[in-house]
């Protein structure tokens, strides 16, 4: 079998950042060796001062395929992923048609993905108002866990769940042992706030921000924590934005409840104060909040209250962003930034004194645990998939449409000046991306059961 040796002064391993060579046999990491131990038979690729990180895992992507391929699709989403060092993405069960709420829909997704993925992938199943009977079947068919919404998700074919409907589903979810990922905002808080804003100017970002107050997240999270205690299922809070919810989450973890938390690069990079009138490319739910809130999210990453970072890449055609009118009420909510997530995170961590090892923990190791592939992916270690990102910390660039790679080249990150650049991405030992171009064929595959 082919033996390759990837050399770097900065290999990010679970034991720390060190100089050495990653020996790759076929699709698998054989071992990490010092430079003088590299076997002469190996094909050597020397990356010098550029770091080698484990391939990143994005546990929260909306690929929208099959069914809404005019929004995104497997080819474009997985290319954007590879450009940011992601070697595995997990697709959300909504915005595709059919939504992944039954086994037939999962099979349709597998058929759509075949031969079109540049990185490895897998799928979350959906828990909706009336599919409790499908939960065990979906688990048996291979989903990695489930996603539900406590608030209307913006499209009609994926229904939100009320507390009662969730209670009907939770015994089945707990039985599977798989995590339940929850969009944690309660509609009553949002409806009440929105009613007060009927006459407000919806082209102003603060209007939208006020319509989705922190209490909507906090009250949802409190409800979920009590349900977690009662039903003993694995609870995962997706895209946490409100720092007001952090004390409740800290307390739940101290209590020993199986709760994990994710936030997203856009909550860690942008600030509400700087979002201009009509700039609906910044609209997402829950919303981007103020600079002070952002710093609290960073503190929570530091102390471990937040486990991981996922992109929540949620694209749509440009018309749906209503750029002409700039109305935050009618524009589609969703941020596109999959292909720049790693440089965005590096830019922010560099300014705050974190290291590449922290990024590897938040964007590879912790998501692997959530997805249940932690024995195969998420680390540079013997026996693991040879998923590697080569990252040049010294490089800087400005985000242009050519850097985006997803279907529609708009994003709130356009024009941002970022530090650090992905030089190459390897999926199971094969080069798929280097110097802003793609190599080989789309040979990504679904994670094994």
Contact residues toward Zn ion (CB under 5 A) are 312
Q: Which is nearer to Zn ion, 91 or 312 (CB)?
A: 312
Nearest residue to 394 via CA among 362, 435, 423: 423
Position of tokens 């040049």? 392
Q: Which is nearer to Zn ion, 93 or 213 (CB)?
A: 93
Query: Is residue 184 a contact partner of residue 237, using CB atoms and an 8 Å limit?
Result: yes
Query: Is residue 213 a contact partner of residue 244, using CB atoms and an 8 Å limit?
Result: no
Contacts of 277 (CB under 8 A, 6+ apart): 203, 204, 205, 326
What radius of gyration do the chain's Cα atoms show?
21
Q: Which is nearer to Zn ion, 58 or 312 (CB)?
A: 312
DSSP string across 384-415: SB--EEEEEEEEEEE--GGGT-SSS---TTTT
State the minimum distance, in angstroms, from the CB of residue 208 to Zn ion: 17
- The beta strands (E) that lie in 62-99 are given as 86-91
Query: Is residue 266 a contact partner of residue 211, using CB atoms and an 8 Å limit?
Result: no
Q: Which is nearer to Zn ion, 21 or 286 (CB)?
A: 286
State the minimum distance, in angstroms, from the CB of residue 242 to Zn ion: 16
State the minimum distance, in angstroms, from the CB of residue 195 to Zn ion: 25
Q: Which is nearer to Zn ion, 76 or 95 (CB)?
A: 95
Q: Which is nearer to Zn ion, 36 or 156 (CB)?
A: 156
State the minimum distance, in angstroms, from the CB of residue 270 to Zn ion: 17
Nearest-CB residue for Zn ion: 312
Cα separations (Å) of 440 from 26, 55, 70, 119? 16, 17, 25, 12
State the minimum distance, in angstroms, from the CB of residue 95 to Zn ion: 9
Give the integer Cα–Cα distance in Å for 74 and 205. 32
Query: Is residue 184 a contact partner of residue 221, using CB atoms and an 8 Å limit?
Result: yes
State the minimum distance, in angstroms, from the CB of residue 190 to Zn ion: 16
Q: Which is nearer to Zn ion, 149 or 362 (CB)?
A: 149
State the minimum distance, in angstroms, from the CB of residue 312 to Zn ion: 4
């Amino acid at each position: 079998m082919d033996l390759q040796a990837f050399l770097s002064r900065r290999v990010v391993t679970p034991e720390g950042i060190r100089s050495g060579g990653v020996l790759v046999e076929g699709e698998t990491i054989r071992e990490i060796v010092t430079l003088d131990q590299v076997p002469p038979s190996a094909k050597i690729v020397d990356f010098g001062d550029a770091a080698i990180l484990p391939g990143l895992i994005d546990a929260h992507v909306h690929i929208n395929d099959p069914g809404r391929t005019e929004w995104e699709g497997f080819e474009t989403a997985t290319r954007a992923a590879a450009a940011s060092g992601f070697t595995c993405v997990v697709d959300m069960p909504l915005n595709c048609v059919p939504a992944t709420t039954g086994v037939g829909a999962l099979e349709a997704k597998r058929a759509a993905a075949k031969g079109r993925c540049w990185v490895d992938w897998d799928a979350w199943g959906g828990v909706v108002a009336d599919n409790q009977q499908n939960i065990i079947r979906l688990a048996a068919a291979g989903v990695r866990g489930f996603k539900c919404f406590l608030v209307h998700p913006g499209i009609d074919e994926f229904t939100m769940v009320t507390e009662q409907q969730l209670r009907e589903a939770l015994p089945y979810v707990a039985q599977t042992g798989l995590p339940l990922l929850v969009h944690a905002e309660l509609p009553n808080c949002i409806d009440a706030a929105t009613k007060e804003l009927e006459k407000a100017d919806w082209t102003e970002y603060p209007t939208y921000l006020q319509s989705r107050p922190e209490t909507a997240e906090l009250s949802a999270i409190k409800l979920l924590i009590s349900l977690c205690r009662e039903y003993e299922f694995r609870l995962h809070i997706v895209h946490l934005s409100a720092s007001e919810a952090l004390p409740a989450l800290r307390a739940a973890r101290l209590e020993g409840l199986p709760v994990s938390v994710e936030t997203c690069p856009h909550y860690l990079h942008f600030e509400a104060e700087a979002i201009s009138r009509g700039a609906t490319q910044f609209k997402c739910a829950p919303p981007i909040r103020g600079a002070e809130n952002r710093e609290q999210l960073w503190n929570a990453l530091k102390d471990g209250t937040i486990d991981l970072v996922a992109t929540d890449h949620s694209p749509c055609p440009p018309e749906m962003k209503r750029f002409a009118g700039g109305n935050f009420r009618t524009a589609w909510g969703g941020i596109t930034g999959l292909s720049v997530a790693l440089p965005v995170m590096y830019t922010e961590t560099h300014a705050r004194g974190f290291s590449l090892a922290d990024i590897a923990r938040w964007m590879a190791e912790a998501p692997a645990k959530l997805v249940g592939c932690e024995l195969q992916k998420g680390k540079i270690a013997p026996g693991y998939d040879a998923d590697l990102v080569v990252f040049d910390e010294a490089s800087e660039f400005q985000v242009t449409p050519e850097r985006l790679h997803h279907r529609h080249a708009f994003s709130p990150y356009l024009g941002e000046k970022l530090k650090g650049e992905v030089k190459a991405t390897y999926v199971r030992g094969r080069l798929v991306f280097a110097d802003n171009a793609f190599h080989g064929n789309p040979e990504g595959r679904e994670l094994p059961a």
